[in-house]
């Protein structure tokens, strides 16, 4: 009896990509592990072509490295990676806000305020998944108005690398409280007052500053960084 394929035929490459990303998100495919193409293609009931295409996209997004004679290795997350991502996201979100400045309406500002209220409630309820969702939406208010799809895609992908690879267990409550009650509030107030350049600089130099956030970064990623160190020592 032929086993029913896990994937449908809507878009094989995209289906394979989404499957692999979900496995990474859930921690079923761990950083440092090797993806066996023959085994994965057989499991999904697809040829190697859509699998290879999906892996190429994952490599472009820095999730995996395709190495000659070593196969496909899932990238680990290092402290230097995190620092690099913070610098890139901070710079791009700063630019995005300036590009979106003349498009931000009162309704957008009200949406941002409502999202801050939602984040506060999520923190009070210890609901990190809901906080994360509303945090993304808060930043997306101005990101989605910047008119640069490549910029938006890059930022969203880097955030997946930071927070969804796999999703860390629990959260550092003090970090979320500081981020929302102080930093988001400052960004919101500056935007509301039309001080877009000041808001853009604050996003880059405070909110996404690795130096400013480093103490929280080390707490949040402690387990992931320890795992990366262990893999390095075993190599």
Domain ranges of the chain: 12-74, 79-231
pLDDT at 5: 62
Residue 146, classified by CB atoms within 10 Å of its CB into exposed (0-12), middle (13-18) or buried (19+), is buried
**pLDDT tier at 8, thresholds 50, 70, 90:** low
**Cα angle at 72 between 224 and 81, to 5 degrees?**
35
93 contact partners, CB below 8 Å, separation of at least 6: 139, 142, 143, 155, 203, 204, 208
- Specify the pairing of strand 64-67 against strand 34-35: unpaired
Q: How far apart are CA 43 and CA 60, in angstroms?
A: 24
The sheet with strand 64-67 has its strands ordered as 34-35, 71-74, 64-67
pLDDT at 63: 93
Of the options 1.25.40.10, 3.30.300.340, 1.20.120.530, 3.40.50.300, the CATH number for the domain spanning 79-231: 1.20.120.530
**Closest to 125 measured CA to CA, from 179, 167, 163, 176:** 176
pLDDT at 117: 98
At residue 186, does pLDDT exceed 90? Answer: yes
Q: How far apart are CA 206 and CA 62, in angstroms?
A: 25
Query: What percent of the chain lies above the pLDDT cut of 90?
Result: 75
Whole-prediction pTM: 0.88
Q: Are 111 and 141 in contact, with CB atoms under 8 Å apart?
A: yes
Q: What is the mean pLDDT of residues 229-233?
A: 79
**114-165 pLDDT, tens digit each:** 999 999 999 999 998 899 999 999 999 999 999 999 999 999 999 999 987 7
Max Cα distance, the chain (Å): 67
> Which of 74-78, 94-98, 192-196 is predicted least confidently?
74-78
**pLDDT tier at 6, thresholds 50, 70, 90:** low
Of the options 3.10.580.20, 1.10.10.10, 1.10.40.60, 3.40.50.720, the CATH number for the domain spanning 12-74: 1.10.10.10
């Amino acid at each position: 009896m032929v086993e029913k394929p896990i994937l449908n035929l809507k878009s094989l490459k995209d289906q394979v990509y989404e499957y692999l990303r979900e496995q990474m998100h859930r921690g079923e495919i761990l950083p440092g592990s090797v993806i066996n193409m023959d085994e994965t293609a057989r499991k999904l009931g697809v040829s190697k072509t859509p699998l290879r295409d999906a892996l190429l996209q994952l490599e472009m997004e820095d999730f995996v490295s395709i190495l000659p004679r070593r196969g496909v290795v899932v990238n680990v997350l290092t402290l230097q990676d995190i620092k690099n991502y913070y610098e890139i996201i901070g710079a791009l979100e700063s630019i995005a806000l300036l590009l979106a400045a003349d498009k931000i309406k009162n309704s957008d500002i009200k949406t941002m305020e409502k999202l801050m209220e939602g984040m506060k409630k999520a923190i009070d309820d210890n609901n990190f998944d809901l906080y994360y969702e509303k945090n993304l939406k808060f930043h997306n208010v101005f990101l989605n108005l910047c008119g640069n799809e490549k910029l938006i895609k890059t930022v969203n992908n880097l955030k997946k690398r930071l927070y969804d690879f796999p999703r860390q267990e629990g959260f550092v409550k003090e970090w979320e409280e500081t981020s929302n009650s102080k930093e988001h509030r400052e960004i919101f107030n500056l935007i509301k007052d039309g001080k877009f350049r000041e808001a853009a600089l604050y996003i880059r130099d405070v909110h996404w500053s690795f130096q400013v956030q480093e103490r929280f970064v080390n707490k949040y990623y402690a387990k992931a960084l320890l795992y990366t160190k262990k893999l390095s020592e075993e190599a």
